[in-house]
Amino acid sequence: MIQVRGLAKTFRVQVKEPGLKGSLKGLFRRRVVVKEAVKPVTFEVGEGEIVGLVGPNGAGKTTLVKMLAGIVFPTAGDASVLGFRPWERHNDFRRQIALIMGQKAQLWWDLPAADGFLLLRDIYGVPEALFAERLDELTGLLDVRALLDTPVRRLSLGERMKMELIAALLHGPRVVYLDEPTIGLDLMAQRAVREFLLRYRERHRPAMLLTSHYMEDIERLCSRLLLIREGELIYDGTLARISEVAGDFKVLRAHLKPELAPPPGEVRALVERLGDVVEASSGLAAVRVPRAGVAEAASVLLQRLPVADLAIEAEDVGTVIERLLKSRTGAAP
Amino acid sequence: MTPRLFLHVASMGARRTLSYRANFWIQALLTFLAELGLAWFLWRGVFEASGATLVAGFTFEALVRYSILVALVGRVVHGTDLEGAVAQEIYDGGLSRYRVYPVSHYAFKYAQHLGALLPALVQLVLFGLAWILIQGRAGLEGITLLSALGFVAARAAANVLQFALAWPIQGVAFWAENVWSLMAALRFVSSILGGSLIPLAAFPASALPWLEALPFRYLYAFPVEVLTGTVDAAGFARGLAVALGWTLVLRWVGERVWRRGDLSYSGAGM
């Protein structure tokens, strides 16, 4: 449904020097900096797939989404979404996509959400019976039927986001772009949005591209992950595989017998010699060690400490991703 | 864009602007009183200082009536300055949402603009009626059913023209951070050259052909002249044709500006 081939975007940004002198100079001449927001990226997203687009702020995630939604023009490369080139903005293309922006509302602030939905029905030309059916389904799934006549400005952030989701999905899009849909929501609202997206995916099978800074969004929703760092796609694969490919460390967690355990200071001194200390107390010694050193570290722990139970765990996916995104090199295949 | 959608968008624009009742009445009354006071004192001063009974072919009462009508018409032409909001949307990334709608952005915004004019239209009718009640027969001088119908057409043309005039200037926001100054300059120039501040008859005779050829007259003076019966049938047809011609030219220019600007749009703030 989404095919991307070497898509890239550069921006020309005017830079103004700080201070009054800089402002005065800026009246006559400004320095222009060319920023590579997205370096050539290639990937595909299929029907019913939710793909997570993960990267730090300014990595190029939103720019990539904007290109695929037809909002901005690319500088190089090509993309096909449902057989259309997005930035040509064919109406048949726009009728089949949706863009949900966690930080930008599309509903009208001063009017009830129901009014906004009716307008969207006319914008997308949704037949009345189908509109009523979808509205009933979506408001039921998100449990917001009672709020339809409340002006949007009086809704809580979570309620507003639910209305935004409904607004974006009323026309039954086949491709959905979600740009940080859970940003700023409390834990319950985040969970409700996630569950809704999963149920919606099951019922309608759209292709979804999701950007989020919350690992839980990615872990719960995405079957696949695209890691983007400084505009460059550094990983395209499943969540499970990322630990295999890029998880160069393991965490050894040794629970100690309380009656025989040495003082915490001694435990820490030993653990520090083995690797990065995760925790060192009289009940637990946890250490992060390179894969190659796991056997030796485990052996030392077993010999030198009164170990009741030893677990060798893969590094947390979030930590692996964080390390990959922070490192300047070391792209995962 | 379908007529049904156009009406729907316009109706939502109207409901939005009418949802603030206090704002509507305060703005309507204060602005009307300020405009009335300004016209009365300004022209009183001019007539007293000159000692003339006619200024630019107008009596004092006719000038005050002209000033009030042109101010009310101006409000209907400009509305709630929705054109300014378009530039703001380019600047803050709000334009992005219209980029994913399968409808013409220009038509969508124009429908919103028309809807937002409803309060000004209500004010025009209310204050127009109030003026007639105060002035009696004198307030209706020159106004016939035919001239009122002509006024509706001329005002509609003015509205379309104003939007087309503002559109390329709003598009400058693709490159400049703030187009407010450009909009203020446009408003100032069109007020002077359009006969909003002073009647066009007060300009030198040599300037009149130019003023008739430029688009600004058709925003303010022309609809009022049509209403008060000072334009004959040929002049009416010519005026509408000039307004339409300018609308087409400006629409073409606007398209070019927006197509070019679109290439540099980043959707910043989204």
Q: What is the mean pLDDT of residues A106-113?
A: 84
Nearest CA in chain B to A67: B266
- Pairing, β A50-54 against β A224-229: parallel
Indicate the pTM of the whole model: 0.80
Q: How confident is the model at residue A333 (pLDDT cuts 50, 70, 90)?
A: very low
Three-state secondary structure call for residue A73: coil
For residue B202, CA distances in Å to B57, B71, B215 come to 8, 17, 18
pLDDT at A332: 47
Question: A12 vs B264: CB contact, 8 Å cut-off?
Answer: yes
The residue behind tokens 């309608």 is A204
Write the pLDDT tens digit of every residue in A222-259.
989 998 988 889 888 888 787 766 667 888 898 988 88
* Euclidean distance between CA atoms B246 and B168, whole angstroms: 13
* Euclidean distance between CA atoms A107 and A96, whole angstroms: 19
Find the CB nearest A71 among B8, B100, B102.
B100
Find the CB nearest A91 among B16, B102, B267.
B102
Question: B100 vs A98: CB contact, 8 Å cut-off?
Answer: yes
Long-range contacts of A277-286 (CB under 8 A, 24+ apart): A278/A251, A278/A253, A282/A256, A282/A258, A283/A255, A283/A256, A283/A258, A284/A253, A284/A254, A284/A255, A284/A256, A285/A252, A285/A253, A285/A254, A285/A256, A286/A251, A286/A252, A286/A253, A286/A254
Question: A94 vs B97: CB contact, 8 Å cut-off?
Answer: no
Question: A73 vs B262: CB contact, 8 Å cut-off?
Answer: yes
pLDDT at B269: 59
* Euclidean distance between CA atoms A192 and A162, whole angstroms: 9
Write the pLDDT tens digit of every residue in A157-215.
888 888 988 999 999 999 999 988 888 778 888 888 888 889 889 888 999 999 988 88
* Euclidean distance between CA atoms B88 and B171, whole angstroms: 10
* Euclidean distance between CA atoms A6 and B227, whole angstroms: 62
pLDDT at B258: 93
User: A16: which DSSP letter?
Assistant: -
Would an 8 Å CB–CB cutoff place B262 in contact with chain A? yes
- Amino acid identity of residue B253, one-letter, is V
User: A316: which DSSP letter?
Assistant: P
* Euclidean distance between CA atoms B70 and A310, whole angstroms: 87
What mean pLDDT, rounded, does chain A reach?
86
Least confident residue range of A22-36, A284-298, B152-166, B232-246: A22-36
Query: How close A206 comes to chain B (CA, Å)?
Result: 17
Query: How close B270 comes to chain A (CA, Å)?
Result: 6
- Let me know: does B261 contact A60? Beta carbons within 8 Å: no
Would an 8 Å CB–CB cutoff place B256 in contact with chain A? no
- Let me know: does A1 contact A82? Beta carbons within 8 Å: yes
Question: Percentage of chain A surpassing pLDDT 70?
Answer: 96
Mutation target among A14, A71, A110 for the B interface, most CBs of B within 10 A: A71
Write the pLDDT tens digit of every residue in B174-197.
888 778 888 888 888 988 999 888
Question: A89 vs B263: CB contact, 8 Å cut-off?
Answer: no
For residue A245, CA distances in Å to A237, A250, A289, A291 come to 10, 13, 16, 12
Specify the higher pLDDT residue, A107 or A82.
Answer: A82
What mean pLDDT, rounded, does chain B reach?
86
Would an 8 Å CB–CB cutoff place B41 in contact with chain A? no
- Let me know: does B140 contact B35? Beta carbons within 8 Å: no
Which residues on A lie below 8 Å from B101 (Cβ)? 94, 123
Which residues on A lie below 8 Å from B9 (Cβ)? 119
pLDDT at A192: 85
Which two tokens mark A280? 């060192």
Residues of chain B with pLDDT under 50: none
pLDDT at B82: 60
| Numbered residues of chain A with Cβ closer than 8 Å to any chain B Cβ | 11-12, 62-63, 66, 69-73, 89, 91-92, 94-95, 97-99, 101, 103-104, 106, 108, 110-111, 115, 118-119, 122-125, 179
pLDDT at A245: 67
